[in-house]
A and B are shown apart, each in its own frame.
Chain A
Amino acid sequence: MTQALPHDLGPAAAEPIRAERGESLLRRRLSAYFDTPLAFVGAGLLVLLLVVAIAAPWIAPQNPYDLAQLDIMDGRLAPGEKAAAGFTYYLGTDEQGRDMLSAILYGLRISLFVGVVSTLFACTIGASIGVAAAYAGGKVESFVMRVVDLQLSFPAILIALVLLAVWGRGIDKVIIALVIVQWAYYARTVRGSALVERGREYIEAARCLALPRSRIVFRHLLPNCLPPLIVVATVQVAHAIALEATLSFLGVGVPVTEPSLGLLIKNGYDYLLSGKYWISTYPGVALVIAIVAINLVGDRLRDVLNPRLSR
């Protein structure tokens, strides 16, 4: 599918700007992005989280899923306490003596993976359906948009909960459920901009050249609908991560063998009332940092990619 980069906005959008400024649109957008300090912080945090999530197996103090490395005698140690073997648990341990810092790094990996992958699929599927519906018009369009309206009138959490209650736990199942509840946002967003774009002259020109319909839709129409889509997709990654955490907290999300941040929080829930706060709190802090960072980036992208502001 056309997962074009932001600078690939199609010939109609990119050429005139390049001609008058003499530098690429991507560079212009990038320098505009880093104009505000908050956007810089957001991007920095996000890169940091991605790096530690990807590098978790190499930088985590222990492998939290290797039972040979766990010592049940170290169970429920408070942050900063020393292990029997001598090293310090900076964020404490859970009931099985698992180092929370390591568990969080591994959990972050799973949470980000689920959020990003489900968003990529939902975005691709939803955008294709939305742009095709907008180009087709008529009965096809009104049918697709009825389905979108109907689905969006039900809360995402409820639909995902039902699907997972039926399918059972699993990372693949969570991803599919998140795709099903999210595609409609993208379909609606893309249709909105495609309705404007389909009346433009370059589409008419493409039609006059008798290009095949699929080519017009995916090579001409879709790339020009991308900027709002990128903004929605960025913020939706944060929503997907929060939704996955909620589902895992409710016990219908990821399996216990591959705990995401949400499942770590659920595990700590049982110990919260006895004052062992760290098992729930720190995974939650990691979750909050990830969500805030993504929102900061998305917020700035909204300003940068808004054509009314950038031209």
Chain B
Amino acid sequence: MGKEEVSAKKRRKINTSSSSDVTKQNPTDVYKRVVEFEETEAQLRPADRDASLFKKLCQDIRQLFADIAELKNKDNEEAKEKINAKRVEASLLLVALKKLNRLEKVRTRAGRDALHKEKQRVDSTHLLLQNLLYEADHLNKEVTKCLQFKSKDEEIELVPVEDFYINAPADVSRADITKKDEHQLQLARLEWELRQRRELAAACNELVASKDRVAAAIAAARSRLDALAPHLKDVLKATKPLQECLALRLDEKRDETRTASLLPPPLFLLYSNAYAYSDVLGSNVVTVSISGDEDDARRLEQLHNIDNDLVASNDSDSDADNNDEEQNKKKRHHRTSKLSKQEKAEAKKKEVLRKHPLNVLLSVKVPDGTALTLIFSYLLHLKIIVVKFTVAQPKPVTGVSAADVLNGHCILNELYPGDTGNDSPHPATAFVLNSVGISETFQYFISEVGRPYIWAQRMCGLDFMSLVVGEQNINKVIEPSRSLSITTVENFILTLKKRLKSRVELMRELQDLESGKITPAKGDMTCPVRLSGSLTQWQSVGWPEYSQSPSTNFLISEGLVTPNDLLYRAIITRQSAKLVAMVALRSDYPKVAPIFSLTLHWNGTHHSGINDDIRDIERIINTDWVSGGDNIHGCLSNQISKLLTCLDILLETSGSSEFPPDKVMLNPVRGRNRVKPYKYLKQGAGVFVQY
């Protein structure tokens, strides 16, 4: 404790002593100066010597302490004095230690400051370096950017260098400079380009201007022409009264020929030939006219013309036609395929089955006033002719089945052998339908569009047969043949007239039959005897009913009767016996005799499949008919009266009391096959024999 106090006193002393020489200055400065002094002292004194001094001092202190301890052990006065002396010495040494310590502290701080300063310097230098690197990088980039720069002039197409030297004037080309300097060359070429383009643009403007001038001139001329038309019309109108006075049909004819020019080629052929034919024959037998929407046709024609223009104009006439067709075809394919993507199936069908807007009407009359009007239409895409027809009768027909004969499609059926008009005669039709994705065959549309009879195609000069035979290439375009049309038109009109005539006669015959009357043709001697049976019903029947009858199996399986024939059911009764005859008339009746198929209801049901007698009668009716040229009419009635006779014979030879023999017969039955005497022999009063 006492030591501490001493040291504190000493410090104060030192402090006072040290401060005594600076007290003259103000007190704050004293510290500063002390600090400054110490700092400079610390700097001046070398640190390692201080360190060794420090060590030596510490050694001394230890030594002193050890001495003191030794002295304390002695514990005498002398010792105590010594101890005090030693204490003082030690305290002085401690002061020195303190001083050294402070110096050390100052030195350390100075070192730290120096380090810190150095560090800062390094940092700033580093930052500077970074900046410089970045700048360098940026400049590099700029340089590459500049190197990569593309000038607009590279995109401009320039004339080749050789041409440039040949064509460009010397003041532009400056060969002496440009040959050496690539850049100058480029500049020169650009300049030349610019000059040239300017010139061309000027030329273009001039041409456009001249074109406009010409167009204006044309427009003016056209407007003059247009203005002319009303004048001409007026003139025409003015001639009308004169025409009427002179009974000239110039106007109508002109109209028709104008419309005719819009017809598609096949129909035009038909029209021209039929027209010529009717001119010769007189219009009371054959008349020809054109119907349909003229405007539509004109529009269609214009479309055609556009197509035509696309075709090279120096082609010959027929070639142009050809190409036109092909063009049309391509276009059609294109159009249809586009449609198939966009529109519904219905629209597709409609497009494929599209008709030319104009139709040719051909009407044929027979003397009694019945007229048949055929409407010929041209399917634009399928390239075939289809026919519809109407019948006009002078007076109404009584009787259902009789009316059918003239009204049903059957009147045109098989006008020529095998020509039912049930399928398109054009071999390409199926492909065309397929290509637009229509799965139905052409038959499906017949009721809608009309029937494509082969004679109709031939009348229009279309011959698909030659196509099939001649070449395998189905896509070949068929050109209407004029000679074919001419020959067919005449032939057809004659055939149709004949058919119509025979149909009118058949209608009368059926009318009679339906009312139960049988009127054999004049001069017919096959049935001079009284007939006991009577025709009680005559009715037309459908194919299902016909084919269901067991008696007709044989005829159908032999292919003798087809659904195309006219089918009737006749019922003949005599007392309790009822004979049902299914009658099939071929379309070309009376060229081919009707075919009878019989079923007898009497004592059970009998037909030719199970009963020989019925078979015998069928044989007589169907085969023994004499196909003479003169009694060709009324053959159906003849057959029916013959049938009545046969029925009488059959019933009267049966031995039944219901049917007493009434006719003279040589033998009621004859031969192993027990044939009845169906044949009439004109001998004496008339006698029936077997053969």
Mutual binders A and B: no
Q: Name B's A-contacting residues (CB within 8 A).
A: none
Q: Name A's B-contacting residues (CB within 8 A).
A: none
